[in-house]
Structure 1
Amino acid sequence: MANLANVERVTVHTGITAVLDDISLGVNTGDRIGVVGANGGGKSTLLGVLARTREIDSGRVTHAGGLRIATVAQDDLLDPAATVREIVLGERAEHDWAGQAWIRDVLAGLLGDHQAAAVGGLDARVGTMSGGERRRVALAAALVTEADLLLLDEPTNHLDVEGVAWLADHLVRTWARPDRGLVVVTHDRWFLDAVVTQTWEVVAGAVSAYDGGYAAYILARAERDRIAAVTAERRNNLLRKELAWLRRGAPARTSKPKFRLDAASALIENEPPPRDSVELMRFATARLGKDVIDLHDASLAFGDLPILKRVTWQLAPGERIGLVGVNGAGKSTVLRVLDGSQPLDSGKRKVGSTVRIGVVSQEVRELEALAGAKVIEAIEAVRASTVLDGKPVSASSLAKRLGFPGPRQQARVGDLSGGERRRLQILRVLLDEPNVLLLDEPTNDLDIDTLTALEDLLDGWAGTLVVVSHDRYLLERLTDKQLALLGDGRLRDLPGGVDQYLDLRSAAPTGASPSIRPAATTATAPGPNPAQVREARKEVARIEKQLQRLAEKADRIHADMAAQASDHTAMTALSLALREVDGQVAELEEAWLAAAEIAG
C-alpha cells in the first residue's frame, strides 16, 4: 500500500466562506472512497484539490511521483464536434485497443447498445447525443485510461438502473486492485454501499471519515449525534428511521456494513417500520375511492418504438409503484399518459372523479415565471399549510424539512442552485395536496440529506405514487412494487424487484424482450433447537466484545494517522495496520450475522 495523493492543512475559500477549512487527508492504493455532503458543501471542490486542478488558499497537496489521474466532472466538458472514437480511444490503433479485453469490456458495458443505436457508432459526433449517452462516453474515456487514481463526480447522473449496476460492478472488479485508488462523489446510496469501502462526509469546511459505505455512514452519524447530543430530536428520528430501513431491508442483507452491529440493534429496537401501509391504504381509499387511473387496451408508439401495446393497467388507491427501464424505453412518456398530457394512439384512459394529480417532472421550467419572487412567496402562493401523516404542517415548516431554513426562505427563486430549485418544485407539488403523485427522476440534483427528508415526508403521504428513477435505493425504499418497460410495449411485473430486472436484461439476447420468470423459491430450513440458540447467543456476545476491542484499536490508528498525516512512511504503515483491522472486522461481522440469525 502506498500513498497516491495527500492533502495537508488545506483551506479553500469561496468568497468569504471557507468551503474547505484546514483539512488533512490522503488517498492510498486500494482505497475506494465515497464523498457525501450537502449540495454546495465542497465535495466537488475536494475532488479538484485532490487532482490539483483547484487553487488552494493555504496548505499543500502532494502526489506520488508519476501519478496518473483520470477524472469525470459533473459538467459536460466534451467537445460536441469530436467523435466517440476520438474522445474514448484517442490515437489508439484499432488492433491495439481491440486486443485489450478490459477496453472491450468498457466499450460493451457503457457504449454497447447505445453506440450501436447512434448514427455512425464510434464515429458518431458527441453533439448529436443525449445527456445519458454523453455521460457514458465521458465515463468510458476515463475508464479506458491506465490511471492510478480515478476521481468521479456524480458518475451515475443520467445513467439508467442498468448502467449504474454495470458501473458499480466494473469499479469493484477493476478498481479494487492494490495499486489503484478511487474517489467518487455521489448521492446514489445503493452505489455507495456497492462500491466504496470508506465514506468521507464534507460538512462546514471539515471532512469526517467513516469506514464502510452508506449503511456504515448512517450508523456513525446516528451514534455521533446521540453521544454529542447536539442535534435536534427531529434529525435523530430521521437517522434512526433510515437505519431501521437499512437493517430490515434488502440492502442490509446483501452488503457487509462496517459498523458496530450491537449498537445498530440498540438504536432501532423500538423503531417502527417506515410507514404503516395498511393505514395509508385506508386513508388513500377514503380520499380516492376505488377508481384512480385506469388504462384499457392502451397503445402508443413513436415510429418503430412501441411504448405501450394493448396494455390494461389499473392503478389502485395507495399503490406505490416504481417504473424501471433503459433510457429511451418510454418511462417519462408513460407518466405523461397517466397525467393525460400524452394522448394514446388507441385505447382509453379513465380517471376517478376525486383524483388530483401532482407531477414532479425532470425539468423545473415552471419556476422560471417565479424568478423574482422569494422562496416563501413561491411556496405560500400554492398553499399556506397542508396535512401530512394526519397532522397540519405549515408551508414554512415543510420548507425547513426539505432544506430551506428561515433565512434561505427569503432568497430569490432566480438565485437558487439546481438542488434548491428541485426542492422548491417538490414542495410546491406537495402543497397542492395531490392524491396521485407522479415523480420523474426526483433524485436529480438532490443531496443525501434532502433525499432522506423527502422519503420521510412521503412515508406519511396517503395516495397513489408512481416513481421513475435510476436511483435503486430510492425505488426500494419508497415503493412496494416495481414494473419494467423492456422495449416490447408491455409493462412487466417484477416480483423480484430491481435485481430481477437486471437479470432479465442480462439474459436477453440483443433486441429481444424476455418473459418474466417467476421468482425462485427457497426451501425452509428447520428451526434451531434451544441449545443451539443459547450457544449462538454466547457467540454473539463473544464477537461483540471482539468488535469493541477492534473498534478501539481502529480509533487509535485513526488518531495516529491524523497526527502523522505529513509522514508518508508512517502513513503507509498505519494504513496497512488499519487494513488488517478492517479485514478482522469483516470476518467477525460475517460470523455475527450467522450467529444472530440463529440467536433471533
Structure 2
Amino acid sequence: MAHLLGGESLHLSFPTKTVFGSVTVGVNEGDRVGIVGRNGDGKSSLLAMLSGRLEPSGGRVTVRNGTRVGVLDQGDTLDPTKTVADSIVGSTPEHEWAGDPKVRDVIAGLVTDLPWDGLVGELSGGQRRRVALAALLVGDDDLLFLDEPTNHLDVEAITWLAGHLRTRRSASAGGLLVVTHDRWFLDEVCTATWEVHDGIVEPFEGGYAAYILQRVERDRMSAATEAKRQNLMRKELAWLRRGAPARTSKPKFRIEAANELIANEPPVRNSVELAQMATSRLGKDVVDLIDVSVSYGDKQVLKDITWLIGPGERTGILGMNGAGKSTLLSLVTGDLQPSSGRVKRGKTVKVATLTQQLAELEDIADNRVSDVIARYRTSYVAGGKEMTPGQLLERLGFTAVQLATPVKDLSGGQRRRLQLLLILLDEPNVLILDEPSNDLDTDMLAAMEDLLDSWPGTLLVVSHDRYLLERVTDQQYAILDGGLQHVPGGVDQYLQIMAGRTSTSRPSTPTSSQGGGQSAPSSAEARAAKKELGAVERKLTKLTDQIAAVHASMATHDSSDFTGLGELNEKLRAFQSEVTELEMRWMELAEQAG
C-alpha cells in the first residue's frame, strides 16, 4: 500500500498538561481509521496535528506529494453570508456540477431539502453541518479528516454518509481518519481503530466490534486494577456478538475467540426480572395516549395517535428532524396538552427527562459535586448491588479529585453524566432520554448503558445514535406523517420505509387499467390487514418475552448439562426463526394497510 501521511515522534504539550509524549503513526492508501478514547485525552488534537491545523510541540508530519487533504472541523466554519449553493459548489457552472454523478449523490444525500439559494446564516445548526459536509464531499480529496461528522445528523443522514464513505473510492485508494463516538458508524466505515489514551496512540485492527474484542483480550492479560474496566468491555462484547442488529450475518472479529470470552457472560439485561420490578413500582398503567392529535396553528404535527406505554418497556423513537419526536415526549411528560384526544396517567407515575440543555444544573453550578450528591439518597441499588452515590459516580468515570470540583468547571461530558446520576437518585419510574449520547465518549456511553441495564422502569429514548438506541431499547416506533408506527425490524426497517417513500415520491409512469398492474387494496382488504397487523404485533411482543426468558434460563443453567442447554438453544432458534417470519409478514401487512 502506498504511503499517504506520517506523523513521526509527535509531541504535544500545554503549560498544564502533556497530551502526547512521542507518537508515531502512519496512513496508507486504503486505510479507514476510527479514532476513539476518553474525552480530553487528545483525539481532536491528534487529528488537528495530522491535518496541519495544529503545530506539534515536537516531531513532524509528512504528506506525500500531490496528496489532496480535506478537513471537517467540529466547529461551524461556513460563511453565513453565502448561499447554500455557493458554499457547496462555489462558482462551478451548473451544467458541470449537475453532470457529475458524485456531486448529485452528495446533494441528494445531504441537502436536497434545503433552500438552494437560501443564506447559510438562516439555517439551523444541523442544516449548516450538512452543508459543511456536502461542501467537503463534493471535492476530490485523497485524504479526509472528519471530526465528529455525525453531530446533528439524523439516522438517515448518518446511514447515507457511511454508505458514501465506503463507496467513495475503491477499497485500496484514498484514506480516512475520523473521530466519532458513533459506534455503529465506526463499525460500518472503519478498517482500523486507534485508541488514544495516556499520551499514546494504540492501534487495533478492524472497526469498533473488532476493537472491543482485542481490548478485552488485552485487558484480560493486564493487572487486576483493570478488573472493572474489562468486565464492562466483556459485557459490551457479549452484546455485539450475541445479537447486535446488522452484525450477526457479517461478524467483524474472530468468532471462536469472542465465544470463549463471553461463555459465562449473561445477557446484558434480565428482561423478565426488570419487567416484574417495573410492574411492582408502577402497576399496570403507565401513560396511555388515546387518539391524540397536536397542532400548532394550521400545522398538524401529530394526528390520531394511540400509544399504550407499559411498565418496564424500553422503547426507541425514530423520526426525521421536525417529525414531532419532542412533541410526542412532551405529551408523555405532561408538559403539553393534546389538541384533541386524551392522555391517561397511572397514579404512581413519576417521569424524569434527561434533556439536551442541562438546564437543571444551572442552579447548582457553583456547588461542588460531592455537596450536590450529598443532598440525595445515601444508597442506590444497581444490578442487585447497593451502591453509594460516590460509587455510582466512580462507575460513571468520575475521579476523587472531580468530586471536589464545582459543577460549572466540569466538562460537557462530566455534566451530562452528573445530570443522569441526579435523575436516577431522584427515583423516577419513567425515564426519557433526549439525545443522551451528546458529549460522551465511547467508554462513557458503555458505562451509561451498563447502568441503564439494571434500571427497573419504563425507558423512552430519542437518539440519532443508532448503536445506543439498539443497545438500550427492546423495540422501536417511528413517527411517520404525524402517526406513530411500530417497526419490529428496528432501524433497518425504518430506513427501508423511508427509502421506499423517497422512491415512490418520484414521478412515475401511470399504470394502464388493462395492463395487469397491481391495484391498490380495497378498504375491506386494508381493514383486514390492519386487524392481522395487530395480531402479528402481539405475537412479536410475546415472542420477545419468550426469548428473554430463554436467555435468562441459559444464564442460570448448569453449564455441564449439555442436553438441557442444547434443548434451550433449539427453543431459542425456533423462537428467532418465528420472529423473522412474523417480521416479514408485518412488512407485507403494513403495505396493504397503508
Same fold per superposition (TM over 0.5): yes
Counterpart of 1:286 in structure 2 is 280
TM-score by length of 2: 0.83
Counterpart of 1:81 in structure 2 is 81
| Distance change >3 Å, CA 230–CA 27, structure 1 → 2 | farther
1:253 aligned residue (248, 251, 275): 248
| C-alpha separation in 1, matches of 2:92 and 2:463 | 36
SS in 1 for 2:165: helix
Contact 1:299 1:345 in 2 (8 A): yes
SS in 2 for 1:232: helix
Cα displacement string for residues 232-266 of structure 1 (whole angstroms, at most 9, x for unaligned residues)? 32222111111110111124314441x33322111
SS in 2 for 1:70: strand
Counterpart of 2:129 in structure 1 is 135
Q: What is the CA-CA distance between 1:73 and the residue it aligns to?
A: 1.0
Q: What is the CA-CA distance between 1:93 and the residue it aligns to?
A: 1.2
SS in 2 for 1:25: strand
| C-alpha separation in 2, matches of 1:399 and 1:87 | 44
| C-alpha separation in 2, matches of 1:379 and 1:328 | 36
| C-alpha separation in 1, matches of 2:400 and 2:493 | 44
| C-alpha separation in 1, matches of 2:406 and 2:285 | 40
Q: Which amino acid in 1 is paired with 2:487? A: L
SS in 1 for 2:232: helix
Counterpart of 2:489 in structure 1 is 496
Superposition RMSD on alpha carbons, in Å?
2.1
Counterpart of 1:310 in structure 2 is 304
| C-alpha separation in 2, matches of 1:263 and 1:360 | 37
Q: What is the CA-CA distance between 1:203 and the residue it aligns to?
A: 0.3
Is 1:165 matched up with 2:159? yes
1:225 aligned residue (219, 236, 239): 219
Counterpart of 1:93 in structure 2 is 93
Q: Which amino acid in 2 is paired with 1:459? A: D
Counterpart of 2:265 in structure 1 is 271
> Residues 437-448 of structure 1: matches in 2 within 5 Å?
437-448=431-442
| C-alpha separation in 2, matches of 1:210 and 1:303 | 54
TM-score by length of 1: 0.82
> Residues 30-179 of structure 1: matches in 2 within 5 Å?
30-113=30-113, 115=114, 121-179=115-173
Q: Which amino acid in 2 is paired with 1:125? A: L
Q: What is the CA-CA distance between 1:47 and the residue it aligns to?
A: 0.7
| C-alpha separation in 1, matches of 2:381 and 2:61 | 51
SS in 2 for 1:263: helix
Q: What is the CA-CA distance between 1:198 and the residue it aligns to?
A: 0.3
SS in 2 for 1:20: strand
Q: Which amino acid in 1 is paired with 2:337? A: P
Counterpart of 1:505 in structure 2 is 498
Q: What is the CA-CA distance between 1:380 and the residue it aligns to?
A: 2.9
Q: Which amino acid in 2 is paired with 1:310? A: D
| Distance change >3 Å, CA 213–CA 408, structure 1 → 2 | same
Contact 2:279 2:311 in 1 (8 A): yes
Which residues of structure 1 form unaligned runs of 5+? 116-120, 521-600
| C-alpha separation in 2, matches of 1:71 and 1:255 | 31
Q: What is the CA-CA distance between 1:301 and the residue it aligns to?
A: 2.3
> Residues 351-500 of structure 1: matches in 2 within 5 Å?
351-486=345-480, 488-500=481-493
| C-alpha separation in 2, matches of 1:222 and 1:439 | 29
SS in 1 for 2:194: strand
Contact 2:434 2:461 in 1 (8 A): yes
Q: Which amino acid in 2 is paired with 1:394? A: T
Counterpart of 1:556 in structure 2 is none
Cα displacement string for residues 466-500 of structure 1 (whole angstroms, at most 9, x for unaligned residues)? 000011111111111100012x1110100111000
Cα displacement string for residues 51-102 of structure 1 (whole angstroms, at most 9, x for unaligned residues)? 1110111111111112211111111122222211121111211111111010
Contact 1:19 1:42 in 2 (8 A): yes
Contact 2:184 2:467 in 1 (8 A): yes
Counterpart of 1:17 in structure 2 is 17
| C-alpha separation in 1, matches of 2:298 and 2:143 | 43
Q: Which amino acid in 2 is paired with 1:502? A: L
Question: In percent, how many aligned pairs have the same letter?
Answer: 53
| C-alpha separation in 2, matches of 1:242 and 1:36 | 15
| C-alpha separation in 2, matches of 1:103 and 1:8 | 36
SS in 2 for 1:22: strand
| C-alpha separation in 1, matches of 2:140 and 2:12 | 30
Counterpart of 1:526 in structure 2 is none
SS in 1 for 2:370: helix
Contact 2:324 2:482 in 1 (8 A): no
Q: What is the CA-CA distance between 1:351 and the residue it aligns to?
A: 1.1
Q: Which amino acid in 1 is paired with 2:401? A: P
| C-alpha separation in 1, matches of 2:361 and 2:485 | 35
Contact 1:298 1:346 in 2 (8 A): yes
Q: What is the CA-CA distance between 1:445 and the residue it aligns to?
A: 0.9
| Distance change >3 Å, CA 122–CA 404, structure 1 → 2 | same
| C-alpha separation in 2, matches of 1:511 and 1:269 | 47
Q: What is the CA-CA distance between 1:384 and the residue it aligns to?
A: 3.3
| C-alpha separation in 2, matches of 1:290 and 1:48 | 53
Contact 2:434 2:462 in 1 (8 A): yes
| Distance change >3 Å, CA 221–CA 251, structure 1 → 2 | farther
| C-alpha separation in 2, matches of 1:511 and 1:345 | 31
| C-alpha separation in 1, matches of 2:170 and 2:490 | 28
Q: What is the CA-CA distance between 1:510 and the residue it aligns to?
A: 7.4
Q: Which amino acid in 1 is paired with 2:493? A: Q
| C-alpha separation in 2, matches of 1:380 and 1:103 | 56
SS in 2 for 1:112: coil
| C-alpha separation in 1, matches of 2:288 and 2:39 | 39
Q: What is the CA-CA distance between 1:362 and the residue it aligns to?
A: 1.3
SS in 2 for 1:396: helix
Counterpart of 2:583 in structure 1 is none
Counterpart of 1:555 in structure 2 is none
| C-alpha separation in 2, matches of 1:14 and 1:432 | 40
| C-alpha separation in 2, matches of 1:14 and 1:255 | 44
Moved more, 221-230 or 237-246: 221-230
Contact 1:238 1:456 in 2 (8 A): yes
| C-alpha separation in 2, matches of 1:357 and 1:512 | 39
Counterpart of 2:179 in structure 1 is 185
Contact 1:379 1:424 in 2 (8 A): no
